[in-house]
Amino acid sequence: MFYDKQLEFVYSVFEKSHIHPHFVSPNDLFSEVIDADLLALFNSTSDADAAISTVLPQLESNTIYKITTPYRLCYVYMILPQRAEKNILMIGPYLKNVPTEKDLLELGEIFGISPKNQKIFEHYYMSIPIIAENSHLFLVIDALGDTVYGKSNFTVVDVESERAVPTSPINEIQDRTLDAALINMKLMEQRYAFENEMMSAVSRGQAHKASQLMASFNEMSFEQRTTDPIRNMKNYSIIMNTLLRKAAESGGVHPVYLDSVSSSYATKIEQMTSLSAINELMGDMFQSYCRLVRRHSMSDYSPTVQKAIVFIESDLSSDLTLSSIAQEQKISSGYLSAVFKKETGKTITEYIRDRRVKHAIYLLETTHLQIQTIAVHCGIVDLQYFSKIFKKHTGKTPKEYRESIKKH
């Protein structure tokens, strides 16, 4: 098989971790692949057999499965293509966490372990390796999946979680009439439609449309997950902050611009103390993401120009030159200069100068930093040169600009 060496490596890794790999077939009973000592203690394997028998016949390729048996033992298994017999790799048992004495006593009672055998039972469980959910061992399994099924061309299924997914929300209705359920579903559809329209408007930077949609927001019903209306609204605002960040990203805004805005709103949401304040913050949030799209969308730029802009924006205080930016992408200065001018309408030097002046304006308006310090933050050490280019763009020196702000 084309993956023999990788399979041998994974097998060896788990054996050295004292977690036993097995090769089984869909027709094998689960009782035939778990530890014989455990079977002797339990005196019966019907529950474990039932747990796995409902899964093995339904195995699909390109899938790695995880299961926790009624004994709380965990296994990972997957189909191995091109393997004629015993084509299922099963790894386990392992535990997700260290069992407490209380856990083991309760398990012993459930499975009829006599007090005489309880200590043996406990010793068995304490000998089973622990694999936390974030363990590097799962990365080894993922790497095998990449090789066997194709890189990132597989899914990981938690069998117990899959079973817990309801087939229909109607089945979950308790003490409610069908009419009430249908009304709730209608409101849910309206909310999703609102969110989709809002995301579409933000991805295009259409602030006016976002404002129109926001006007209807107060009348909209959304899921009440707690009895506290302010907490409900905060939760919904957090969801919208995430959705709008993704919408702006799809509109061509690089994460370098999105991160600080998203983090800022996450903090502000938790500081809100009234519904009216949260509504106002939501409106401001929509507008902010629209502005980001209008100002920083790079959807029309080639990857080369996008990378150049991000490199510039990431640190305006550094020594930015055409040569250094081209070297970062390992391309020629001439090629970068030509494609940048063609797509943005500005040379790299002009773009850098414009961004530095805009950043200087921002710092003059929002901080009390000395002008010399602002110049350094903008990557211009020579204060006289800084004042010269600032005046060329704004008609005022930095000092004059700051004084004009104070008058307003």
Condensed to tens digits (0 to 9), the pLDDT of residues 208-263 reads 777 777 766 554 445 566 668 888 888 888 988 999 999 888 888 888 778 888 88
Residue 225: what pLDDT?
60
Tell which phi-psi region holds residue 330, choosing left (phi > 0), alpha (psi between -120 and 50) or beta.
Answer: left
pLDDT of residue 31 exceeding 70, the answer is no
Residue 182: what pLDDT?
65
Split at pLDDT 50, 70, 90, the class of 155 is: confident
Q: Are 271 and 230 in contact (CB under 8 A)?
A: no
* CB atoms near residue 131 (< 10 Å): 21
Would you give the distance in Å from CA 53 to the centre of its chain? 34
Split at pLDDT 50, 70, 90, the class of 171 is: very low
Most confident of 72-81, 94-103, 332-341: 332-341
Split at pLDDT 50, 70, 90, the class of 166 is: very low
Cα dihedral 263→265→268→270 (10° resolution): -80
What is the pLDDT averaged over residues 160-171? Answer: 49
Structure tokens at 109: 């009672």
Provide, rounded to the nearest whole percent, the portion of the chain with pLDDT above 70: 82
Residue 384: what pLDDT?
94
**How far is the C-alpha of 122 from the C-alpha of 110, rounded, in Å?**
14
Query: Which sign does the torsion angle of CA 296, 301, 302, 305 carry?
Result: negative
Residue 336: what pLDDT?
94
Structure tokens at 216: 């209807």
Structure tokens at 85: 């017999």
Q: Which of 38-42, 130-134, 279-283, 286-290 shows the lowest mean pLDDT across its residues? A: 38-42
**How far is the C-alpha of 281 from the C-alpha of 369, rounded, in Å?**
28
Residue 386: what pLDDT?
94
Q: Return the CATH fold of 303-407.
A: Arc Repressor Mutant, subunit A (1.10.10)
**How far is the C-alpha of 297 from the C-alpha of 406, rounded, in Å?**
32
pLDDT of residue 57 exceeding 70, the answer is no
pLDDT of residue 373 exceeding 80, the answer is yes
Map residue 24 onto helix, strand or coil: strand
Token look-up 């339904």 returns 58
**Reduced 3-state DSSP string for 338-355:** HHHHHHHCCCHHHHHHHH
The domain segmentation of the chain, as residue ranges, is 4-164, 178-296, 303-407
> Taking the model in full, what pTM does it have?
0.48
* CB atoms near residue 328 (< 10 Å): 12
User: Could you tell me which of 238, 261, 264 has the C-alpha nearest to residue 248?
Assistant: 261
Q: Considering only residues 40 and 393, tell me which one the structure prediction assigns the higher pLDDT.
A: 393
pLDDT of residue 106 exceeding 90, the answer is no
Q: Are 290 and 261 in contact (CB under 8 A)?
A: no
Q: What is the mean pLDDT of the chain?
A: 81
Query: Which sign does the torsion angle of CA 378, 260, 293, 340 carry?
Result: positive
